[in-house]
Structure 1
Amino acid sequence: MNVVFACLDADTLGGIQRVTHTLAQGLAGRGHDVRVIGLHRSAAPFRYVAEPRYRRHVVSRTRSGRPGRLARARADRRLARLLRDCAPGFAVLTSPSVVARVAPLLPDGLRSIGQYHGSYEHAGGCWHLGSIRRHYPGLDQAVFLSEDDAWRFSEGALLPNAWSLPNPLPGWPERVSTLEAPRVLGVGRLEGVKRFDRLITAFAASGAPPPWELHLVGDGAELDRLRAHAAREGVADRVVFRGRVPAERMPGEYLAASLVALTSEHEGLPLTLLEAAAHGVPAVAYDVSGGVRAAGPVLVPPGDTGGFALELGRLAGSPRERRRLGAAARARAEAFRPDRVLDAWETLFVHVRR
């Protein structure tokens, strides 16, 4: 069948994009005709799949922002022509802004599926919830990351069409971490919402002695501020900023870690937690969404840096507890194996066609 994924920007380093390319490659590998459409070009393209089995399109060569009215109209005409050229099937619209823009342009043969990659908590704190209330009820299906979020959106946004589908792992590792290396791993953009400053503070207060280190994988505007923060906390020599790591090298990062930590202000279903679990690495995370809870980390109340520090210190000092939690995390991660999530997407397609 024909499947079209539409993103605001399909090639920037980010969770929505990574999930989109993973699903596109997986469905294409099952024989479906798949396209990934970016409404705008990326300022810093990131290659997620070395040899894509799907087609990729960029509608506008301008970066995402607020284009002029004429430029937007021209881009929408190009997008409408591209969609009309697609065979009947499914259009997966990956965010509220994409739903609002693309859904009115869909031809009759494309069934609409609107995703939301955030949590109900996050949507309620910004414009997303209002947009979901306005635009998602008219879709053929609205898809959320956990059963908890699907239920809350069906109640809070009055959605008659809510469904839950988790993010897929990019693959299933055969090897797991030995959990012996004295390393805590944090993964994500070095931006304010990820609150790596809280993670650095918690690591400093955890009591984990040298040679324990905190390794941060990712780049972003907060790099200099976070370096200065690590110096103020007295751990500048034990916080290692790794920069951007290619996707194919990330398994090695998890294998070299004994703990993963997530201190974001909000998350949907973070791939970092799923990949850590698949590699048998226990995680500590703020309890900010149903998706985070579904991934099974050790949960700490949001913003509780002291509690986070206690859990990091406890696990750093107990190899036995790390092994126990790591084995439980890997067992839980079985539900997010690529084939299982792709099966669930194909089940959704059958449901929508009825």
Structure 2
Amino acid sequence: MSVVFACLDADTLGGVQQVTHTLAQGLAGRGHEVHVIGLERSRSPFRYVDRPLYHRHVTGTRRRLRRLLGAIEPGYAVMTSPSVVARLSKLLPPGFRPIGQYHGSYDHARGCWHLASIRRHYLHLDQAVFLTEDDARLFSEHALLPNVWTLPNPLPCWPERLSTLTAPRVLGVGRLEGVKRFDRLISAFARSRLPPPWELHLIGDGGELERLREHARREGVGDRVVFRGPVPAARMPAEYLDASVLGLTSEHEGLPIVLLESAAHGVPSVAFDVSGGVRRAGPVLVPPGDVDAFAAVLAELAGSLGERRRLGADARARAEAFRLDHVLDGWERLFAHIER
């Protein structure tokens, strides 16, 4: 049977989109007929896979969506967010087995409208898929879901080369938007008092760019915070190879791909302790919002190549569980479970 992944917007730069295209390419490579559907068109399309083995669609209207789904052989419909489940689950033609993903944590869901939507709409799906066992348990208990399943995000590839961890560079990766709180990473870098030639490189684009530039100037590190803009997916391995530490200062996260990718390259990371997914990825954890504690860890890691190498080796060993083949095996086990 076919596998359909549906996103609100399938081609914007973001973790949900990266995971979707990675899974689509992997499952298509295993012989499945795979379709990725965007319900809306991206304003700034980003290409995750150079030579996709799967079909890509943008529908735009309910009529076009119905026509497209009617032309696809019924199979599994993976809806990647609560908003997609709410819009799409009632439109699926007979024969499709509906699966709802949630890429956030339970703690984030209960703080916004997501929990109510999951409680209302995911109950009636064949399966509700969450990122960690802890999240699945909490959703099962507090959203009264009998159909929970756990599948982590996958790494798009497994690198053979590792960072030497000798470059004086702290790396931050993600959309330059408020929820990612790169202002806190800039402040932590400034308060760590790392001497030149240490720099903070930020990869990504977004509406906070100019505000973050000004924030870096006010913090006294405007000449050592380098805004790199978006980097093509194929060039990201080189960025991790040139880094010695990765920093993640988001308000909330599910299971961040950037933590997994940095770990796979042997790069240690520091992150605010905001979700079970972050904890599972194995960074050095800092209390949420504690910029001074974050700065202290940055200073400690920058001052000890031996500690960077120890933590980087531990991180790479932990990242083995997120290799693409392991996660694809999990998806195929899920499909077989639904058929039973």
Cα shift at 1:232: 0.9
Cα shift at 1:45: 0.9
* Counterpart residue type for residue 133 of structure 1: R
Instruction: Determine the C-alpha separation between the residues in 2 that align with 1:318 and 1:239.
Output: 22
CA shift digits 1:288-344 (9 cap, x unpaired): 001001100000010000110111011010110000000000000000001000011
Q: 2:270 aligns with which of 267, 270, 284?
A: 284
CA shift digits 1:209-233 (9 cap, x unpaired): 1111100001111111111111111
Q: Are 2:304 and 1:318 aligned?
A: yes
Instruction: State, as a whole percentage, how many aligned pairs show the same letter.
Output: 76
Equivalent residue, structure 1, for 2:43: 43
Q: 1:102 aligns with which of 82, 85, 88?
A: 88
Cα shift at 1:86: 1.7
Equivalent residue, structure 2, for 1:215: 201
Q: Let me know the Cα RMSD of the aligned residues.
A: 0.7
Equivalent residue, structure 2, for 1:6: 6
* Counterpart residue type for residue 34 of structure 1: V
CA shift digits 1:236-275 (9 cap, x unpaired): 1111110110100000000000000000000000000000
Equivalent residue, structure 2, for 1:261: 247
CA shift digits 1:78-124 (9 cap, x unpaired): 21222122212100000000000100011221101100011111111
CA shift digits 1:146-173 (9 cap, x unpaired): 1111111111111111111000001000
Matches within 5 A, 1:51-200: 51-60=51-60, 75-200=61-186
* Counterpart residue type for residue 50 of structure 2: A
Matches within 5 A, 1:221-240: 221-240=207-226
* SS of structure 2 residue aligned to 1:136: helix
Taking structure 1 as the reference length, what is the TM-score of the superposition?
Answer: 0.95
* SS of structure 1 residue aligned to 2:86: helix
Instruction: Determine the C-alpha separation between the residues in 2 that align with 1:251 and 1:78.
Output: 38
* SS of structure 2 residue aligned to 1:151: helix
* SS of structure 2 residue aligned to 1:16: helix
Instruction: Determine the C-alpha separation between the residues in 2 that align with 1:50 and 1:238.
Output: 33
CA shift digits 1:45-75 (9 cap, x unpaired): 1111111101111111xxxxxxxxxxxxxx2
The count of aligned residue pairs is: 340
Instruction: Determine the C-alpha separation between the residues in 2 that align with 1:85 and 1:229.
Output: 51
* Counterpart residue type for residue 240 of structure 1: V
Instruction: Determine the C-alpha separation between the residues in 2 that align with 1:82 and 1:231.
Output: 50
* Counterpart residue type for residue 102 of structure 2: Y
Instruction: Determine the C-alpha separation between the residues in 2 that align with 1:257 and 1:240.
Output: 13
* SS of structure 2 residue aligned to 1:261: strand
Equivalent residue, structure 1, for 2:19: 19
Cα shift at 1:77: 2.5
Q: Are 2:258 and 1:272 aligned?
A: yes
Cα shift at 1:207: 2.4
Instruction: Determine the C-alpha separation between the residues in 2 that align with 1:222 and 1:12.
Output: 16
* Counterpart residue type for residue 321 of structure 1: E
Q: Are 2:280 and 1:304 aligned?
A: no
* Counterpart residue type for residue 350 of structure 1: A
Cα shift at 1:41: 0.8
- Give the 4+ runs in structure 1 shifted more than 6 A: none
Instruction: Determine the C-alpha separation between the residues in 2 that align with 1:213 and 1:77.
Output: 51
Instruction: Determine the C-alpha separation between the residues in 2 that align with 1:348 and 1:261.
Output: 33
